[in-house]
């Protein structure tokens, strides 16, 4: 396991207590996701996209992905030398404009598929 993978695993562990694991995804409140995005930028990991989630029945803990709320970072940005910084800028703008009905978001990270992080 390389250093960046270890750093990411540490971040996931830290944020795990603030969110929910659904399948292989870490769902965070939009507020916590903003903090997580900045921590990803600090370890030079780009965010490729964002998915929105909301409660269907909060009393039962039923959560579904909201297919009307998704965002993909521009491909040109992901090719830049400072991709992590620029991707976080785009994601931050998106998160700041989310509708109140969105309880959680998850990120699609630009990492090798072989990394086991959740």
**Domains contained in the chain, number:** 1
Average pLDDT over all residues of the chain: 94
CATH code assigned at 26: 3.30.190.30
Residue 94 lies in domain: 3-109
pLDDT digits (tens, 9 = 90+) for 84-113: 999 999 999 999 999 999 999 999 999 998
Residue 35 structure tokens:
């903090």
What's the sign of the alpha-carbon dihedral 71, 74, 80, 82? negative
Model pTM?
A: 0.92
Whether 66 is in a domain gets the answer yes
CA angle 74, 78, 81 (to 5 degrees): 135
Whether 56 is in a domain gets the answer yes
């Amino acid at each position: 396991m390389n250093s960046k993978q270890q750093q990411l695993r540490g971040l996931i562990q830290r944020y795990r207590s603030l969110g929910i694991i659904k399948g292989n995804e870490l769902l965070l409140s939009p507020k916590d996701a903003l903090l997580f995005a900045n921590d990803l930028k600090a370890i030079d990991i780009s965010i490729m996209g964002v998915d929105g989630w909301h409660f269907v029945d909060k009393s039962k803990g039923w959560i579904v992905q909201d297919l009307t709320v998704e965002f993909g970072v521009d491909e040109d940005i992901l090719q830049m030398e400072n991709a992590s910084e620029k991707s976080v800028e785009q994601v931050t703008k998106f998160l700041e404009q989310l509708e109140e009905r969105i309880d959680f978001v998850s990120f699609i990270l630009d990492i090798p598929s072989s990394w086991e992080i959740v």
